[in-house]
Amino acid sequence: MSATHLLLALDLLGVLAFSLDGALTAMRRTTLDLFGVVTLGVVTAIGGGMLRDVLLGELPPAALRTWYYLATATAGGLIAFWGHAVLTRLSRPLLLFDTMGLSLFAVTGARIALEAGVGPGQAVLLGGLTAVGGGTLRDVLVRTVPTILAGRLYAIPALLGAAVAVLGPQLGGRQLVWALAGAGACAALRAGSVLRGWQAPHATLRAPDELEE
Q: How far is it between the farthest Cα atoms of the chain? A: 66
Count of alpha carbons within 13 angstroms of residue 186, beta-carbon side = 36
Residue 130's nearest CA partner among 78, 69, 87 is 69
Closest CA to 7 of 175, 184, 194: 175
Prediction pTM value: 0.82
| Contact criterion met (CB below 8 Å) for 65 and 33 | no
Give pLDDT, residue 3: 63
List per-residue pLDDT tens for the chain, 213 residues long. Answer: 566 677 778 778 888 888 988 888 888 877 888 898 899 999 999 999 999 999 999 989 988 998 999 999 999 999 988 987 777 666 566 677 778 888 988 998 998 999 899 999 999 999 999 999 998 998 888 888 777 776 678 889 999 999 999 998 888 878 888 888 999 999 999 888 877 777 766 666 565 555 455
Q: What sections of 30-174 are H helices per DSSP?
A: 34-56, 62-65, 68-87, 93-115, 120-141, 155-167
Question: Could you tell me the CA-to-CA distances from 31 to 73, 86, 105 in Å, in that order?
Answer: 20, 18, 28
Q: Give how far Cα 78 sits from Cα of 64, 74, 187, Å.
A: 19, 6, 25
Look at residue 177 in the predicted model and tell me its pLDDT. Answer: 87
